Amino acid sequence: MERQRAFFRSGATQGSSFRRHQLEAARALVDDNESRIHEALRADLGKSEFEAFVSETGQVRAEVNHTLSHFEEWMEVVGVGTPLSLFPSSSEIRYEPKGVCLLIAPWNYPFQLVMAPLVGALGAGNCAVVKPSELAPATATLTSELLGRYFSEDLVRVVTGGADTSQALLRERFDHIFFTGSPAVGKIVAKAAAEHLTPVTLELGGKSPAIVDETVDLRLSARRIAWSKYLNAGQTCIAPDYVLIPAHLAQDFETRLTEAIHRFYGADPKTSPDFARIVSDAHFDRVRGYLDEGRVVVGGETDRESRYIAPTVLAEAREGSRVLEEEIFGPVLPLIPYRSLDDAIEWTRRHPDPLALYVFSKSRERQERLLEAIPAGGSTINDALVQFSNLELPFGGRGGSGAGSYHGRFSFETFSHKRAIVRAATWIDPPVRYPPYRGKLRWLRKLLG
């Protein structure tokens, strides 16, 4: 901490050339080591090379390239208007790096969710302490090695370990904390940050609904929902957590989902090279418990030794059951029939604001009604997950699903302090603001309107 703070105060990170060099180093890290990164992701989560590229290395490369293309523009001082009451003067906003930032990453996308925030922190001119997840040990070890090789420890330092390590880091005073993980741990992070009045970005989760109406192509909707749900074996914070489907279409939708699963992963998904595995025994046991809380439509097979849980569709889940109340974070998809759109809206409102809302409808009126009625961190209409990959959009939650946002310019702004500056003229000094005030108030009222 002392070394990084001293390095930051030296001003070395401020210039655009230094930042560009670090961003190019981040790109080289990915380009030079992509196969090793993919191997680590397969060891930790059973990810296929395609999934590893699409959701991890490819996403990081896109983030780096986008930032390299725009960060100098983002760094520019922004002139803003100045009220007549401050005449003659000018006003501006300057983006300044915050200092030493702590980045705590989760296990589900253990490379991307280290590197994407780090790109934002470096582009904004900060130093960073990085804590990868110990639950993805192969990726954590490799990430530690690579960051140590491509960056000076005065700029980027990796600290590995478990919960005790995170708690020790949180006792230190950082200038910003960026945490991705569960709402329960997010509360712990926010509480620790409050001891130092440290600003935080919390990327959490929750039960993200997919609401389907009768106007859609059921086959297409089922295919897109199945892809987004079973990517990374359902271990995605913005995966659809459950589907609300008109009651008279429920059986047909079960058939369409079953067809999509078989087309994606074959009759036995355990043998598919494209289906990932659960990260740990503890998470396997938790997700396995959901299978007993409804009627298994398709899937349901498990193998604890390989931490395999088949892509599963669950119908007739019991009211109040854990699968309908807890964030699933696994390849189990409950279907909930509804009779009216009001019923669907009411169901979603039983839970805190989700990180994502997915609306499947061809009716613009219904799309807008659901967007207005159900607060969420972000949304996609007639698809799922894809809002994450648009770097022109902010990614983040609200309420129980998080605070703050990042990606692209929004990452730069998250890791920057927006300093307000007024430049006052000295060639004139209007006396109206100085005592004595007698007779001046009426003129001031006219001036301010």
> Which residues are marked as active site?
203, 237
DSSP SS3 for 352: coil
Burial, 38: exposed, middle or buried (Cβ in 10 Å; 0-12, 13-18, 19+)?
Answer: buried
Measured distance CA(54)–CA(33) in Å, rounded? 16
Q: Taking the C-alpha atoms of 341, 347, 350 and 352 in order, what is their torsion angle to the nearest 10 degrees?
A: -70
Q: What is the layout of strands, in order, in the sheet containing 78-80?
A: 78-80, 89-97, 416-424
DSSP 395: B
First-residue to last-residue Cα distance in the chain = 51
The 3 state secondary structure assigned to 113-146 is HHHHHHHHHHHCCCEEEEECCCCCHHHHHHHHHH
Q: How many CA atoms lie within 13 A of 136 on its CB side?
A: 31
Measured distance CA(112)–CA(63) in Å, rounded? 10
- Evaluated on CA atoms 92, 125, 412, 191, the torsion sign reads negative
Indicate the helix (H) or strand (E) that contains 245. strand 242-246
CB count within 10 Å of CB 18 equals 15
Measured distance CA(166)–CA(385) in Å, rounded? 29
CB 210 within 8 A of CB 225: yes
Strand (E) positions, 186-233?
Answer: 200-203, 209-212
Spatial CA neighbour of 94 closest among 113, 83, 79: 79
Q: Taking the C-alpha atoms of 44, 278, 329 and 266 in order, what is their torsion angle to the nearest 10 degrees?
A: 110
Cis peptide preceding 88, ω within 30 of 0: yes
